[in-house]
Amino acid sequence: MAAYMVESGEDAFRKIFKFYKRRHPPPDFSNVLDFSKDVLSDKVVPAKLDPVTVSDVEATRVGLKPVRDWRAFGLQGYPGFIFISNPFLLGSQPFWVRQCLKTYPQKPNVCNLDMHMSLSDTQDIWGKSIHALSCPPSGKREPLTLLEKLRWVTLGYHYNWDTKTYSANHYTPFPADLHLLSLQIAAACGFPGFKAEAGILNYYRPDSSLGIHVDEAELDHSRPLLSFSFGQSAIFLLGGTHRQDPPTAMYIHSGDVMVMSGQSRLLYHALPRIVPVPQDHTPLEMEVCSLASSLQDSTVMEQISKQDWMVCSKYIQSSRVNMTVRQVLGSGQSFPETPAYHQRTDVGQTVEYRDRPANRESGKRKRSSGCASVDTVET
């Protein structure tokens, strides 16, 4: 079954999800859009950005190229969806990778390891992992480090995987550097004044996937959802408002940014597969030495130590990190005393996520039908 042969019908999204997730035989990727190449067609159109809202200095401060140099695209039939093909300056991605692996998983932020470990054990995930990740391979099967066991981290208003809601009493300060990065991306896409209030970081291993879901726990859907990707590439599926709508498949490469706004803000989407970085893409290992030349006094970025990059480099050689940033509350909005908003759950749909490597014979699994974490199982 080729992806283009699937027509609208009973859970067409699930059929295509399974097609791209399949290992044997491997799927045909010929119908997957690749925005890193010249892809303008009847389906792919240029996206209009607003470069006036973001100065070159503001862009450089967070490691972005001038907005006029961004390659941004939209898709026919998906109003409000914007795909920005790697707008980062050469050398700036490694800083954000380091933040995802070293800084953001630390307390007071929340991660999947907190579900079955004490807070003291998860206090310094990076520090407890760097020795093993810095050592050359021994040839023996080594136990996974805490960093390798990391599946998700929540920032700002912490998403509750059980109730599928946010709340006022489960909040820690949102990282200032990530807020500034999100502010510039949103402004360039026509959303000035965006407030980064919640973030979910997903950590993908080579066999990870993200189940079919809609992100609608936020109280204000008029503000965009921003998605940042680093490390290995992936296949992303963007569907419609019903699972009967067949999705469009596209590659996400390191540095790519997706903006879901307007009608596309509440569309079904999923990520069935991690794929290796194409050979014609510049490895991040080649970028790390370029950061020093682009640093300015006002930048939020900083030079990465060789030891830090050694760990980051080893991790992303086979893994991928994704950050989704959301504005939860609109102007003048506040949380209800008793939350009455939930993620969409279709009849018969179950999406599970595992907070540890797959083990079908033991271990408890948490269920989520919304902002599903990685290592999901779609049934």
Dihedral angle computed from the Cα positions of residues 376, 377, 378 and 379, in that order, rounded to the nearest 10 degrees: -150
DSSP line for 232-294: SEEEEEE--SSTTSPPEEEEE-TT-EEEE-GGGGG--EEEEEEEPPPTTSPPHHHHGGGHHHH
Residue 77, number of CB atoms within 10 A of its CB: 13
Residue 201's φ and ψ, nearest 5 degrees, are: -100, 125
CA atoms within 13 A on the CB side of 77: 11
Q: Tell me the C-alpha to C-alpha distance, in Å, between residue 374 and each of 29, 88, 293.
A: 22, 25, 36
d(CA 263, CA 247): 15
24 is in an annotated binding site: no
DSSP letters for 330-368: -TT----SS--------TT--EEE-SSS--TTSS--EE-
The answer to whether 215 is annotated as binding is: yes
Count of all residues that appear for the chain in the document: 379
Please tell me whether 213 is known to bind a ligand. Answer: yes
| Of 176, 178, 194, 174, nearest in space to 53 by CA | 194
Known binding residues: 213, 215, 269
Annotated binding residues for Fe cation, written as ranges, equal: 213, 215, 269
